[in-house]
Amino acid sequence: MKKFILSSLLSVLFITGCLNYVQNTTIYPDGSGNMQINYWMKFSDTSSVATILKLEIFNPDSIREEFSSEFVNIIDVTTYSDTIDSTVHANIELSFNYVDSLNSANAFAQSRFLLEDGASGQKIFSQFIPPVTTGFGIDGSAYRVTYNYEIRGDIITHNATNKSGNNLTWSYSLSEIGRGKTISVTFKPFKLKETPYWIYILAGLVLIIVIFFLIRKKKD
């Protein structure tokens, strides 16, 4: 199957010279989480769409096989073409018991997902972005990979290209990946049973209202 996937990827690069990849991931305090992947490519004319959709990387059954493992649950796989912007897409939605378990899926064989203990109460997460071989006149700046992570914890350090609250983004062109890149973040996970402050405030208000009505009823 890996040979088929590699063959299909090369076919994609020959046809378009551009394949983009976006990975959206949420990691929960216990290491479990979910992921949505969308990769797409441009097509030159509508007559090539049928051929592209027959490639292994756009075949739902082949995609399921590549991303499935004992610890990874495939929720949904869809492929489609969009004539408005002349693109062909593959969308994968999955969940995992522990982020390290993603390494057991063929599609992530080189990704080296790792969540390990850091300083007291802290966790260190990392993922390797493997190098992509260029050639055949492919413009490395036209290909882009983007990794969006929602971290359920206080972020201590990171090497992301962009940060917004608890959301980190790593975005690179093919030429920027070079021999590979490692994305990493150190964070202090939120407590699994931590009660939000607003719960205490709401409970206090309810208690005050109950006491008020009890006192009023007693006076009546």
Answering whether pTM is above 0.95, one says: no
Q: What is the pLDDT of residue 45?
A: 64
Distance CA 201, CA 40 (A): 47
Q: What is the pLDDT of residue 198?
A: 58
Q: What is the pLDDT of residue 219?
A: 65
Nearest to 108 by CA among 54, 171, 37, 58: 37
DSSP H/E element including 19: strand 19-27
Give me the residues of the chain with pLDDT under 70, please: 1-18, 44-54, 132-142, 192-200, 217-220
Span 75-100, pLDDT tens digits: 999 988 777 777 888 999 999 999 99
